[in-house]
Chains A and B, each alone.
Chain A
Amino acid sequence: GRGPRAPALPLRCGAAAGSHPLRWAGARGCCAIRWAFVTAPWDRQETLQREFLKCFPALPAPSAALSHVRVGSRADTEPGQRVPRRAEGLAVRAARPPPGDGGCLRGPSPPCPGRPGHQPRRKQAGRPLRAAGRPAGCGGRGTGPGGLPRAGGGEQRGEQPTGSQCHPDLSRRLLLRSVQLGDSGNYSCYLNGYPVGSVCLLVDVPPEEPRLSCFRRSLISPVTCEWRPQRPPSPTTKAVLVVKKFLNGPANDFQKPCQYSHHSQKFSCQLAIPETDRSSHIVSLCVANTVGSKSSRWEVFDGYEILQPDPPANITVTAMVGKPRWLHVTWQDPSSWNSYFYRLRFELRYRAEQSQDFTAWMVEGRSHRVTRLGAQGLQHHSIIHDAWKGVRHVVQLRAQEEFGHGSWSTWSAEVLGTPWTEPESPPASSPATQASTATDGSTAPSRGSTNTTSLPEDDSSPVPLSTFLVTGGSLAFGALLGAGVVLRFRKMWKLRALKEGKAGVHPPYALGQLVPERPRPITVLVPLISPPVSPSSLGSDNAPGPSHPDAGCPRSPYDVSNKEYFFPR
């Protein structure tokens, strides 16, 4: 909060510094304005229900006025003493208008520069309240009915507001049994039917200290600054964004109005910055109402540094038929980016679901010419070439302006995908296998995906295993047979063996298929479709720049992989 300072405004009724629990403007020697300003914790309104200053006309002088200001827990507060309590609370402020001015000016305290749309309002006297007092006071004679008309905020129901009255016993005091925000208004005192004075009563919640956060989602969007108060602000609370702009010279000061949304429960202000403007801005949020004002700390930014896009949207991770180690990832610009002129670059990271370590790479956003005009915005894609076979992967993306202006977006939500799994041999192709392939192709149906991906292996192992046990047995038998033959005729072939050492391997090549020395029959099943494509080479060649936009056609299962498989040789 701001400390007490001499009001810069002319001392009119209602223009008092809000931080004072009591302020007697008359002490400044100006017009005869009398102020009382009382605060109490929000949860202890009863302190304000008690006696409250009334019947100002009886106050002889500012110094003596204190004796009349017995207001709950603040009764002992001296003029000029700062309010030590927390910001959140209910405040009541009263003022006596200068003689001849029966009205009440109501307005927020002035420290906020340029209160937006909150001009002091003059309240008219309303219906009288029942009041009584001693002759020396406003109440006149004993039980003689005086009047304390109340006006302004609150309902005018033609009867005395609940709990408000000039209590005869308390003399020159008005009891407000239940102070509400709507009790603000102008209270007048009548003696023998004649008005002898009035007092302006303001009831409001001092504003909290704002904590401002500003962001900009794209270069053609304004900077949005927001603050969400802990409690809904009172209806009189207004906010304004104070802006200082530095551009090759002295600061240019201006203000932007802020709106409170009951839906989001936030104050929100928008600061438009031209897309080519990189000048520095310093902003602060000022909130004010009838009883006080608070300003946030200054936020410093320039139009580019503050940029932080939303994470990429509509991410899909799909398997690619025939590519058991590939995953096709597509995504779109976030809708808030809303520009084709300015582009994003992306960082893609992925890991096997059980793993902790991510693999990441950068994807330039300006490399997709074909898909740039998608109906739903820019479509981007990339291919992961070194996924684990049959393992579900977690993929995430984040975005930043393509030249590195501003900061990275947060990481997108995790999207899951499993590489294509080789369909089982025709007799073994069960519906479960088909379903697993289909599930792998979809984006992120997490339901049972792990099970479906692991199922094929579990299911497939017994069937091919038995098959291969038989096959392997026969092959082993054949191998032994061949070995016996070789041993038997070794002497006979001894001379030729030297001569046809290498050539001798070839003829048995057909036989070699029958005699695979590899101990892993499963890998024999997938030699063509699953090119061992030495993962290391793939990783080193393609992983850093895998964003070949047209490289991965999901419908051509063989071409690229086989090329890569055979080309190095």
Chain B
Amino acid sequence: MNSFTSALRPGPLGCSLALLLVVATAFPTSAPVREDSNTKASPDKTLTPPGRTIESIRSILETIKELRKEMCDHDVNCMNRKEALAEVNLHLPRLIEEDGCFPPAVNNETCLLRITSGLMEFRMYLEHLQAKFRSDEENTRVSMVLKNIQHLIKTLRPKVKNLNEEATLKPAVAVSLMENLQQKNQWLKTTTIHFILRGLTNFLEFTLRAVDLMECGCPCLRNFMGSASHGQNTPSCPLDT
């Protein structure tokens, strides 16, 4: 479906990957760029370093939410009116079951590859969105999102072994995107921005879930697998050595 979903490379994984993830998230990362006024300080002052990645993603999600609220003049119906977005013909990255991010078929390496590739693709989209908003405040917010996405990629990227190529938009996609954004048709421009931000939100939500799962490691995964709802009969933990 997407370019980044084609490089599936499942391989044997061990808990070392989970450890790697934990270590990588524990890197002294700079705190995500926070908003001045609206972002609430996290109430949990005892965050473990891995939890910082989660909080970083939460912060990005909150910023996007605020941005979309401003675009919609705080009209909830506007934000959720996906029918209006149906005409936007862009294929944004999205995580699917085969990406190894969903229990019980979790594959850390594949999942992280998908996540980082997808985020890099979204970064391209966001770069096109810069300075496309109607107010300085909104433009500031999208810049903030872009910075935090880059920061998140750097945080997650050390965990991936096979990420050789830089994700770039395909020329056709870039052309289509630019057409949408440069249209005199303000409607299409707005819906395109909404479409991208909504897709990014969806992607980040799954990223947060997957990162949290991977940070939890094998015990969590066993617990997932123990759930009868996933329909698996005591499979082995793929994170086990």
Mark A residues whose CB is within 8 Å of B.
218, 220-221, 248, 274-276, 278, 280, 302, 338-343, 366-367, 369, 372-373, 403, 544-545, 547-550
Whether A220 touches B205, Cβ cut-off 8 Å, given contacts A276-B95, A341-B102, is no
Asked if A342 and B229 make an inter-chain contact with CB atoms under 8 angstroms apart, the answer reads: no
Contacts known (A339-B227, A341-B213, A372-B216); A274 close to B97, Cβ less than 8 A: yes
Alpha-carbon separation in the docked complex, A141 to B103 (Å) = 79
In the assembled complex, the Cα of A275 lies from the Cα of B209 at a distance in Å of: 13
Q: Could you say which of A221, A248, A343 contacts B229, with CB atoms under 8 Å apart?
A: A221
Residues of the B chain whose Cβ atoms lie less than 8 Å from the Cβ of A341: 102-103, 209, 213, 224
Binds A, one of B41-49, B67-75, B131-139, B146-154: B41-49
Tell me if B209 and A342 are in contact (CB < 8 A): yes
- Bound-state Cα–Cα, A547 to B61, Å: 21
Q: A339-B227, A373-B220 are in contact. Are A367 and B44 (CB under 8 A)?
A: yes
B184-222 vs A, CB cutoff 8 Å, 1 = contact: the mask equals 000000000000000000100110010011001001100
20 A-B pairs whose Cβ atoms sit less than 8 Å apart in the complex: A220-B229, A275-B102, A276-B95, A276-B96, A276-B97, A278-B202, A280-B82, A302-B82, A338-B227, A338-B229, A339-B224, A339-B229, A340-B223, A340-B227, A341-B103, A341-B209, A403-B61, A544-B43, A547-B43, A548-B44
Q: Are A366 and B223 in contact (CB under 8 A)?
A: no
Determine if A545 and B227 form an interchain contact, defined as CB atoms under 8 angstroms apart: no
In the assembled complex, the Cα of A94 lies from the Cα of B46 at a distance in Å of 78
Closest to B216 in A: A372
Please give the distance in Å from B108's CB to the nearest CB on chain A. 14
Is chain A's interface secondary structure helix, strand, loop, or mixed overall? Answer: loop
* B18 vs chain A, min Cβ distance (A): 15
A373:B54 contact, CB within 8 angstroms: no
Q: How far is the CA of A341 from the CA of B206 in the complex (A)?
A: 9
CB neighbours of A369 from chain B (8 A): 48, 51, 216
Say whether A373 contacts B219, CB under 8 Å. Answer: yes
For the complex, is B94 an interface residue (Cβ under 8 Å from A)?
yes
Docked complex Cα distance between A549 and B206 (Å) = 24
Q: How many A-B residue pairs have CB under 8 A?
A: 58
**Given A276-B96, A341-B102, A341-B224, also A550-B46 (CB < 8 A):** yes
| Residue numbers in A under 8 Å from B223 (CB-CB) | 340, 373
B128 at the A/B interface (Cβ < 8 Å)?
Answer: no
A343 to B, closest residue via Cβ: B209
Q: Tell me whether A276 and B227 are in contact (CB under 8 A).
A: no
B230 CB within 8 Å of chain A: yes
Which residues of B sit under 8 angstroms from A275, Cβ to Cβ? 97, 102
Q: Which residues of B contact A545 (CB under 8 A)?
A: 43
* Shortest CB distance B43–A (Å): 3
- Residue positions of B touching A, CB distance < 8 A: 43-44, 46, 48, 51, 54, 61, 82, 86, 94-97, 102-103, 202, 205-206, 209, 212-213, 216, 219-220, 223-224, 227-230
Task: Give the distance in Å from the alpha carbon of A547 to the alpha carbon of B46 in the complex.
Answer: 12
Q: Which residues of B contact A547 (CB under 8 A)?
A: 43
4 cross-chain pairs, A with B, having the tightest CB-CB distances, nearest first? A545-B43, A338-B229, A403-B205, A341-B103
Q: Whole-angstrom distance from the CB of B114 to the nearest CB of chain A?
A: 12
CA distance A550 to B43 in the complex (A): 12
Instruction: Tell me the bound Cα distance from A544 to B40 in angstroms.
Output: 11
When the two chains form their complex, are residues A220 and B230 in contact, meaning their CB atoms are under 8 A apart?
yes
- A275 to chain B: closest residue by CB: B102
Complex: chain A residue closest to B54, CB-CB: A366
6 extra A-B contacts, CB within 8 A, seeds A276-B94, A276-B97: A276-B102, A341-B224, A366-B54, A366-B212, A403-B61, A545-B43
CB distance from B215 to the nearest CB of A (A): 9
| Across-interface contacts of A302 in B (CB, < 8 A) | 82
Query: Which residues in B have their C-beta under 8 angstroms from that of A372?
Result: 216, 220
Which residue among B44, B86, B223 has the maximum number of chain A CB atoms within 10 Å of its CB? B44
Complex CA–CA separation, A549 to B163 (angstroms): 38
Report the Cα distance A202→B97, complex, angstroms. Answer: 50
Min distance, Cβ A334 to any Cβ of chain B, angstroms: 13
Question: Once the chains bind, are A549 and B44 in contact (CB under 8 Å)?
Answer: yes
Closest partner residue, chain B, to A220 (CB atom):
B229
Per the bound structure, the CA–CA distance linking A34 and B147 in Å amounts to: 78
Q: In the complex, are the beta carbons of B43 and A548 less than 8 A apart?
A: yes
| Nearest B residue to A302, CB-CB | B82
Distance to closest chain B CB from A367 (angstroms): 6
Interface centre among B43, B96, B212, B224 (most CB of A within 10 A): B43
B97 to chain A, nearest CB (A): 7
Residue ID in chain A nearest B204 by CB atoms: A403
What chain A residues lie within 8 Å of B97 (beta carbons)? 274-276
Bound-state CA distance A248–B205 (Å) is: 22
Closest to B99 in A: A276
A274 closest partner in B (C-beta): B97
Name the residue on B nearest A551 (C-beta): B46
Max chain B Cβ within 10 angstroms of own Cβ: one of A221, A366, A548: A366
- List the B residue with the shortest CB-CB distance to A338: B229
| Chain A residues whose C-beta falls within 8 Å of the C-beta of B61 in the assembled complex | 403
- Shortest CB–CB separation between residue A253 and chain B, in angstroms? 19
C-alpha spacing A221/B48, complex, angstroms = 32
Task: Give A549's nearest chain B residue, CB to CB.
Answer: B44
Bound-state CA distance A139–B219 (Å) is 82
What distance in Å separates the Cβ of B137 from its nearest Cβ neighbour in chain A? Answer: 23
CB of B107 to closest CB in A, whole Å: 14
Question: What separation, in Å, do the CA atoms of A517 and B206 have in the docked complex?
Answer: 62
> Residues of B contacting A221 with CB < 8 Å?
229
In the complex, chain B residues whose CB is within 8 Å of the CB of A366: 54, 212
A218 to B48, CA, bound (A): 28
Which chain A residue shows the least CB distance to B212?
A366
Closest Cβ of chain A to B25, distance in Å, is: 13
A567: min CB distance to chain B, Å = 15
**Bound: A550/B228 CA distance, A:** 31
Question: Closest A-chain residue to B220, C-beta based?
Answer: A340
